[in-house]
Amino acid sequence: MTVELSLLTSNRLETAEEAYTYLELIQSIEGITPDLWNTCEPVNIPFVTGCEQQILSTVLSTFFWRHSRPRVDGAVNVQPSSYKYRVHGGLSLRSPSQKPLADYLQFMSLGCTRFDVHYGYIHEMAINETEKAVASGAAGLLNPEKQTYSYRIVTHRLLKWLPDLCWVNVFGQPYIDMFGREKLLSAPAYDVHGMEGGCIWLQLSPSLKDVANNYEEFEAVRQAVKEHLNPNAFFQIDQPEGHRYDVPDFGIQPLAPWFK
């Protein structure tokens, strides 16, 4: 199983200096610092400390990096000023689930204090939710032979719907405006609290392993929270194509025409 983590921010990383602020966050957490990097697969160029801005100045869209032992794969989304259309800036990580969660929790907490986070999550997709995750666009097939999937929520999905609630969800101001702060804070989940920086942390269960090992209980909590917040904000597999969901105003302009 694989842990997936992401922070989507309003910060548009138009220069190497701006992208470096994200890389500083990664480098501040010992267990995920880059050993290798590239702008595409394979991620095989040795990462040299001290040359970060020089490296980032060569990146046109995405900076891929890898921490080798234990393995952690990550990406920083860079948006040069020459890009006509906007999406969220952000960071994403994926790693085998046996790695301790402390680094990821620290990453989320620090990221929400340093950046204007619109949405973030930590999740480990269970086999039981694969069909719905694929239908919502959150899951993509990585290896057809092994039937392994990645779980990733990106701007063009959030402009249509929230694919689902993850194990940990971080809601920034657009979602606080849409759901209401008090409604979020009163959600019937395991841990809900305001964070430094203004985001709201919503964790569905005590352990990430609950997603797979106690799926029925996890899913019951997830459904109760969605009913509490607003069911029409979340993808529903039985809704017809073209159904309009409730989505927040992210203030992202100009949007690509295929996002509308």
- What SS3 class is residue 172? coil
Q: Which CATH number fits domain 1-115: 3.30.160, 3.30.420, 2.40.160, 2.60.40?
A: 3.30.160
**Model's pTM, two decimal places?**
0.90
Q: What is the band of 161 on the pLDDT scale with cuts at 50, 70, 90?
A: very high
Mean pLDDT of the chain: 86
- What SS3 class is residue 215? helix
Q: Please report, for the chain, the start and end positions of each structural domain, with discontinuous segments joined by +.
A: 1-115, 125-235
| 60 pLDDT more than 70 | no
Residue 7's pLDDT is what? 93
Residue-wise pLDDT for 34-58, tens only, equals 999 988 889 999 988 887 777 777 7
Residue-wise pLDDT for 202-215, tens only, equals 999 999 999 999 99
| 172 pLDDT more than 90 | yes
**Exposed e or buried b for every residue in 99-125, given b needs 16+ CB within 10 A?**
bebebbebbbbbbbebbebbbbbbbbb
Residue 61's pLDDT is what? 73
| 139 pLDDT more than 70 | yes
Residue-wise pLDDT for 98-136, tens only, equals 667 888 888 899 999 988 999 999 999 999 999 999 999
Residue 210's pLDDT is what? 95
